[in-house]
Amino acid sequence: MSKIIENGMLITASETFKADILIDDSGCISAIGHNLDAPGAERIDATGKLILPGGVDPHTHFDLPMFGTVSSDDHYTGHKAAAFGGTTTVIDFVNQDHDSLKKCVDAWHKKADDKAAIDFSFHMNIVKFDESVAKQIPDLLEEGITTLKIFTAYNGVLRIDDNKIFKVLRVAAENGVLTLLHAENGDVIETLVEEALAEGHTSSEWHALSRPAWGAGDAILRVAGMAHAADASLYIVHMNTAIGVDMLKYSREQGVKIMGETCPQYLFFTLDNMRQPDGAKWICSPPMRDKSDNERIWQAIERGEMQTIGTDHCPFFYDGTTPIEYEGEMIAIPGKELGVDDFTKTPNGLPAVGDRLLVMWTEGVVKGRISANEFVAMNCTNPAKIFGMYPRKGALLPGSDADIVIWDPQRKVKYGVAHSHQRTDYNLFEGWELMGYPEKVFLRGKLIVDGDKWLGERGSGEFIKRKEGEVL
């Protein structure tokens, strides 16, 4: 059945205007205007509400094995949490666990396809590289995967050396593929971790103290130089440091085709959180920094020096020995307690996929740091453009998928685990007073969240085959 959402205020990346939206039977937006009519259409009154495109989260990790356990959200529970937070498209990362990239992708589809509850796509991790892998990278385009991720940390596990990084960048440039970078200095981290443990430093804050902020600046500038030499485009994931932002800005000024992403956790939390008795909740990589880093990243958002906001959603239970109830069943998954005596054994990651839009609206838009249009740009439209899904995703345009959020700007919520729907036992934003909240969420025209009701289904999410994206 076609639908008409009427009397709402549309918020796009560039405009704010009142209009109605006609959604056709195929789940696409067919018209935007006034006094729209379609025989038999369901009419949805959005008076006093805002109409936003569904969020696009470019950085998630569902069902990810780590340290003898697995991230607690899979491609159903994580997608459900995303939807309750107004996000309708996510991009996950494929591990390079098999001898061919195609087998790696197939394995991730096997994990995701039957569970997916919103639309999704994949990035491809490159943690082993030789001529055989180089020849397979163009084949990823047929799979709809147009992005690779490389690491300058996790020595001996995920990192490839600079010579291979440069070769990856060249192959990527030749094929219109975007390279994503996890930017830290793995050699420095390896040494400092060894020294910390030898000196008996095992508590959570040493996860951050053994990963110096300058390692991000060093890695960004070094790989940016390689990208420039390779004429490749580069995207820095989960930026957490002032020095990293400065290196991003400098590299862009020098003509490097480089873009940056940050995450909510790097705007609000610091090393002091990791010094709390429950500090393991904040262990993720890269780690929390200090208030000056928080503020510099905010400045980058306000000044347009940062292009996107993702989440790096990779949740674990804080206490995986105590079950929680999820959809009527009790579940417990080993989590942060694994590192109670050694920070190096604490699973790296935290929950955020359902929190991103809610927190960024209150802290960004309501508090006047960014406009509603800038909010849509960084959380919806820019990720869709950069990752080759625009205008199908991240837009309110005729022909776009009807991924639509009816947003109540007046609703106040005391936020936390009870609202987030993430399958874990804690929330970083527990007790925060938020203003502005999704009222209804549509995925390709189908209502999947109606207030506090979940109407989505396992397996209803579609894999989005992506094209070459834009450099913003």
- Give the integer Cα–Cα distance in Å for 145 and 382: 18
- Give the integer Cα–Cα distance in Å for 83 and 67: 28
Could you give the maximum distance between any two Cα atoms of the chain, in Å?
A: 74
Q: Classify residue 338: in a domain, yes or no.
A: yes
Contact 50, 409 (CB under 8 A): yes
Contact 120, 91 (CB under 8 A): yes
Contact 74, 81 (CB under 8 A): no
Mind listing the pLDDT tens digit for each residue in 31-52? 999 999 999 999 999 999 999 9
The CATH number covering residue 376 comes to 3.20.20.140
pLDDT given for residue 93 in this prediction? 98
Residue 132: CB atoms within 10 Å: 11
The CATH number covering residue 42 comes to 2.30.40.10
Q: 110 falls in which pLDDT band (50, 70, 90)?
A: very high
Q: Is residue 250 located within the same domain as residue 324?
A: yes
DSSP state string for 369-418 = SS-HHHHHIIIIIHHHHHTT-TTTSS--STTSB--EEEEEEEEEEE-SHH
Mind listing the pLDDT tens digit for each residue in 208-239? 999 999 999 999 999 999 999 999 999 999 99
Q: Is residue 35 located within the same domain as residue 69?
A: no
Q: Classify residue 460: in a domain, yes or no.
A: no
Contact 152, 186 (CB under 8 A): yes
Rounded to an integer, the average pLDDT of 246-264 is 98
Q: Is residue 270 located within the same domain as residue 358?
A: yes
Q: Counting every residue, how long is the chain?
A: 472
Contact 250, 272 (CB under 8 A): no
Q: Is residue 321 located within the same domain as residue 409?
A: no
Cα angle at 463 between 419 and 451, to 5 degrees? 25
Q: Is residue 316 located within the same domain as residue 404?
A: no
pLDDT given for residue 200 in this prediction? 98
Q: Is residue 86 located within the same domain as residue 200?
A: yes
Q: Is residue 73 located within the same domain as residue 127?
A: yes
Q: Is residue 151 located within the same domain as residue 238?
A: yes
Average pLDDT, the chain: 98
- Domain range for 217 is 54-386
| CA-closest candidate to residue 58, choices 356, 298, 317 | 356
Instruction: Compute, in degrees rounded to 10, the torsion defined by CA atoms 363, 8, 116, 431.
Output: 30
Query: Phi and psi of 427, rounded to 5°?
Result: -140, 135
CA distance readout (Å), 53 to 12, 38, 213, 445, 465: 7, 22, 35, 12, 19
Q: 325 falls in which pLDDT band (50, 70, 90)?
A: very high
Q: Is residue 68 located within the same domain as residue 46?
A: no
Inform me whether the pLDDT recorded for 148 exceeds 90.
yes
Nearby residues of 108 by Cβ (< 8 Å), 6 or more positions away: 92, 94, 95, 122
Taking each continuous run of H as one helix and of E as one strand, the counts in the chain are: 15, 21
- Give the integer Cα–Cα distance in Å for 82 and 90: 8
| CA-closest candidate to residue 243, choices 271, 218, 208 | 218
Q: Is residue 241 located within the same domain as residue 268?
A: yes
Q: Is residue 367 located within the same domain as residue 300?
A: yes
Instruction: Name the DSSP letter for residue 345.
Output: G
Q: Classify residue 465: in a domain, yes or no.
A: no
pLDDT given for residue 1 in this prediction? 83
Q: Is residue 215 located within the same domain as residue 107?
A: yes
| Domains contained in the chain, number | 2
Comparing 1 with 230, the larger pLDDT belongs to 230
